[in-house]
Structure 1
Amino acid sequence: MLADGLGSNLARVRRLCALLAFIPLLAACTVETSPGPGGGGRPIPGPGMCTMEYAPVCAERGGRRQTLSNACEARNRGFDIIHRGECRRQPEVRACTREYNPVCGERRGRQQTFANACEARNQGFQIIRRGECRRQPDRRPDREPDRRPDREPQRMCTMEYAPVCAERGGRMRTFPNACTAGNDGFRIIGTGECRR
């Protein structure tokens, strides 16, 4: 009978030890809740240890976006991570006049005419020329088998300055590079500026 009492006590001690072994593990766990839609910011947690790794994240707290060196730093400072990488600069929207001074703007290969430069910039377009955009002729490769790629309309061109002399309809003109000459429908006749 003594052996039965000792055995049951030993089993209780083992269960108690197992339970005590899991308590530190449970204490290390934290639960994070999301405020949900329309909820306020979460409280700023205490400082934690983060690596010095530079893996930038764009994070937000209180309606303010900031680029932080890594996700750990963002969480430790109470920021919500929006995306990996640096925060993109938010375009500044300006109030524009109703002045009609047309410009041709381009974004991602698409050209569009705007009433003025302010309107074009507010829509995220880069101004490529004053005046309305020129309508490009409908060119089909099956009709122009000898067409070269540098003469295709609406190519994205760099700002590289490598001047070329080009001609269209007997008119010669200097362009900053071959790409811009091709976009305007000119044929390159030489490198460097045109000599008249």
Structure 2
Amino acid sequence: MKLFGILLSRHGVAALFLSMLLAACTVVVDDGPRPRPPRPDSQFCTREYQPVCARRGGDRQTFANPCLADRAGYRVVSPGQCRDGGGGGGGPAFCTREYAPVCATRRGSARTFPNACEARAANWRIVDNEPC
């Protein structure tokens, strides 16, 4: 009975009101475990040469290996280098691994390639003989 009297007193009502207010302001959100999206910048790729043709949207590009394509956000569509649209032209281009970076453009996008051969093999137009 004494507890009931304290709760109805002026101090008891204020304490009860503040407790309810505090409880109403406390929100716990638990979305549970979520898979982390891959971070392309932290993915390690080997330097093996196993060329693949990969696509992202309407853009097709040849990569030295599937890991590099995945890291760039492309999906591998076939082994080997990408062929030009009609499939009627010479064989695949083989480029050296020299590092002489060039800046190339295609469809309004600019990209740095390790060398001019790789830029041309991917059907990009070279605009500068240094990185973009």
TM-score (norm 2): 0.39
Larger Rg over CA atoms: 1
Higher relative contact order (CA 8 A, sep 6+): 2
